[in-house]
Amino acid sequence: MSSTDILTVDTKGLSKLTSRNGLDWLAAELIQNAWDQEVSTVDMTIETIGHGKGRITVTDDDPQGFLDLTHAYTLFAESNKKGDATLRGRFNLGEKLVIAYCVETGGSVEILTTSGGYFFSKKGGRKKLRRQTEVGSKVTAEFRASKETLAQMVEYVQTFIAPTDFPTTVNGEELLNKPPLATFEEFMPTVSVNDEGDLFKTTRKTTVEVIETWNGEQPMIYEMGIPVVENPTKYHINVQQKVPLNMERDAVTPAYSRKVCALVLNATRDLLSKEEASQPWVAEAMESDDIEAESVTKVLDQVHGKKRVMHDPNNPEASAAAIAAGYGVVYGGNHSKKAHDNIRQHSPVSSATDKMKDAGVDFHPGGKDVTIPYAKWTDAMKVLAEYTAELHGVAHGAACEVKWVNDNRNYGACYDQGGLLGGASILLNKRRLGTRWITNATSTVVGFTRFVDLVIHECAHHHSRSHFNEDFHKGCSRIGASFTAHLAQVGLPKWLLN
Distant-in-sequence, close-in-space partners of 83: CB < 8 Å, separation ≥ 6 = 192, 193
Degrees, nearest 5: CA angle 91-92-93: 85
* Arithmetic mean of pLDDT, 293-315: 94
More confident residue, 50 or 275: 275
Identify the pLDDT of residue 302. 97
pLDDT score, position 3 = 37
Q: d(Cα 33, Cα 139) in Å, to the nearest integer?
A: 10
Mean pLDDT of the 349-367 span:
71
Q: What was the pLDDT predicted at 201?
A: 86
Edge to edge, what strands does the sheet with 137-144 contain? 125-129, 116-121, 108-113, 137-144, 53-60, 42-48, 168-170, 173-174
Task: Work out the average pLDDT over 336-351.
Answer: 95
What confidence category does residue 216 fall into, taking pLDDT thresholds of 50, 70 and 90?
confident
Higher pLDDT, 414 or 315: 414
Measured distance CA(440)–CA(76) in Å, rounded: 96
- Average pLDDT over the chain, rounded to an integer: 86
The whole-number average pLDDT for the span 25-42 is 89
> Residue 322: pLDDT above 90?
no
Res 195: pLDDT: 65
- All domains in the chain, ordered by first residue: 3-174 (3.30.565.10), 182-276 (no CATH), 307-355 (no CATH), 374-497 (3.40.390)
Residue 14 pLDDT greater than 80, yes or no: no
User: 396 with 372: CB under 8 angstroms?
Assistant: no
Q: Which of 14-18, 254-258, 340-344 has the lowest mean pLDDT?
A: 14-18
Lowest mean pLDDT among 312-326, 330-344, 380-394, 481-495: 312-326
Write down the pLDDT at residue 468: 75
d(CA 58, CA 53): 17
pLDDT-derived band of residue 398, with 50, 70 and 90 as boundaries? confident
Please state whether beta strands 328-330 and 308-310 pair in parallel, antiparallel, or not at all (unpaired).
parallel
**For residue range 94-146, what is the model confidence (pLDDT) as tens digits?**
677 888 889 988 999 999 988 899 999 988 889 999 899 999 899 999 999 99
- Quick one: pLDDT at residue 15? 47
Strands (E), 307-412: 308-310, 328-330, 401-405
Using an 8 Å Cβ cutoff, are 267 and 209 in contact? no
User: Distances from the Cα of 182 to the Cαs of 212, 293, 466, in angstroms?
Assistant: 9, 19, 49
